[in-house]
């Protein structure tokens, strides 16, 4: 997968997300079993205990379809946020999801669908195209406003108020999530995650 290109495209979005909250900064670096950086991993921070999770203003995000692929592979979104699925190809797509948190389908369309889809429940939404079986995309719906996605270097910085957090790392190609607890203060905390990532067999494109 051309992860480098995905990272470049997503960079402004991440900056926007991280820059929204002022506070402590948590820098997480995810590497695979082979020690190489893992990109497109979603890192979430959830306050431990009964610390309330502030109701954020979930941002709308975009999951493009470019050259018969979902771009990027993974899009994190806070629950209640809307995702639009603009079709940048000159053919039509039929985007669907049978995932438990949200099932929907955008029947054959081109261009930008009139309404974005709002995802209320947290969880992983696997996106497919009924026309192009190999197209796979993931929406990671979080129940916390503090989240980020690793870049090409496998690291992400998340600003969050100081406190005690459970940091989880998810990646579509890993069967398990990595998790660490961290207490933050003013100083930035650096966390390293090791996640076994197995790319799925490359499906045949047609």
Partner 1 sequence: MIRFARLEVRIVVFFVILLICMQGVMFTLVTASGQHIAERRVREELATGERLFRRLVDQSNRRLSDAASVLAADFGFREAVATRDLGTIQSVLRNHGARISADVVLLADIEGMPLADTLDEGHSGAGLPQVSDLLAAARDKGKAQAITLIGGVPHQVVVVPVLAPVPIAWVAMGFKLDNRAARDLQDVTALQVSFLSRRPGDGWRMHASTLPEQARVPLLHSASRQSTLDTFSFIDVGDDHYATLVPVLGEGSEGRVVAVLQRSLLEGLEPFHRLRNILAVLAVVSIVLSIAGSMLIARSVTRPVGRLVTTARRIQDGDYPEHVAVERSDEIGELASSFNHMLDGIKQRESQILRLAYEDALTGLPNRAMLHDRLTQALSSARRTASPVSVMVMGLDRFKEVNETLGHPIGDRVLREVAVRLQGVLRESDTVARLGGDEFAILLPTGDSERVQNVMRRIVATLETPIVIDDQAIDVGGSIGVASFPDHSDGADTLLRQADMAMSLAKQANSGYAIYDPAQDDGRRGHLSLLGELRRAVERDELNLHFQPKLDLATGAVHRAEALVRWQHPVRGFVPPVEFIPFAERTGYIRQVTRWVVERAILQAGEWHRAGRSITISANVSTRDLMTPDLVNLVTGGLQRHGTPASLLCLEITESGFMDDPTRALETLEQLHALGVRLSIDDFGTGYSSLAYLKKLPVQELKIDRAFVMHMVTDRDDATLVRSTIELGHNLGLEVVAEGVEDAASLDMLRVLGCNEAQGYFISKPLPADRFEQWLDQRGSAASAAA
User: Which residue ranges make up the site for partner 1 (CB under 8 A)?
Assistant: 96, 98-99, 103, 126-130, 133-136, 172, 200-201, 203
Closer to partner 1 by Cβ: residue 9 or 100: 100
149 close to 76: Cβ distance less than 8 angstroms: yes
* Closest separation in Å from C-beta 108 to partner 1: 12
Closer to partner 1 by Cβ: residue 140 or 165: 140
118 close to 81: Cβ distance less than 8 angstroms: yes
Closer to partner 1 by Cβ: residue 25 or 130: 130
Is the Cα dihedral 13, 23, 79, 200 positive or negative?
positive
User: Residue 117, by phi and psi: left (phi above 0), alpha (psi -120 to 50) or beta?
Assistant: beta
If we measure between CA atoms, which residue out of 138, 156, 139, 155 comes closest to residue 147?
A: 156
Closer to partner 1 by Cβ: residue 50 or 175: 175
* Closest separation in Å from C-beta 59 to partner 1: 26
At a CB cut-off of 8 Å and minimum separation 6, what does 135 contact? Answer: 65, 68, 69, 70, 93, 127, 128, 129
* Closest separation in Å from C-beta 62 to partner 1: 20
Q: How many Cβ atoms sit within 10 Å of the Cβ of residue 62?
A: 15
29 close to 155: Cβ distance less than 8 angstroms: yes
* Closest separation in Å from C-beta 118 to partner 1: 20
Q: Hunting for tokens 């695979």 — which residue is that? A: 32
Closer to partner 1 by Cβ: residue 186 or 204: 204
* Closest separation in Å from C-beta 71 to partner 1: 15
* Closest separation in Å from C-beta 74 to partner 1: 13
Closer to partner 1 by Cβ: residue 133 or 153: 133
């Amino acid at each position: 997968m051309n992860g480098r290109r995905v990272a470049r495209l997503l960079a402004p979005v991440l900056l926007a997300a991280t820059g929204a909250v002022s506070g402590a900064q948590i820098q997480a670096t995810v590497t695979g079993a082979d020690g190489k950086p893992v990109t497109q991993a979603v890192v979430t921070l959830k306050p431990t205990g009964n610390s309330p999770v502030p109701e954020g203003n979930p941002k709308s995000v975009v999951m493009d379809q470019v050259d018969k692929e979902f771009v990027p592979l993974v899009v994190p979104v806070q629950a209640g946020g809307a995702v639009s699925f603009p079709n940048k190809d000159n053919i039509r797509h039929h985007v669907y999801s049978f995932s438990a948190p949200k099932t929907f389908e955008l029947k054959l369309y081109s261009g930008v669908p009139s309404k974005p889809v709002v995802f209320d429940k947290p969880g992983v939404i696997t996106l497919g195209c009924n026309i192009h079986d190999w197209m796979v995309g993931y929406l990671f719906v979080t129940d916390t406003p503090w989240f980020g996605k690793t870049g090409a270097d496998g690291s992400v910085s998340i600003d969050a108020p100081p406190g005690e957090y459970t940091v989880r790392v998810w990646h579509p190609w890993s069967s398990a999530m990595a998790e660490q607890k961290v207490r933050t203060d003013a100083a930035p905390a650096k966390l390293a995650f090791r996640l076994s990532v197995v790319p799925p067999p490359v499906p045949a494109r047609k």
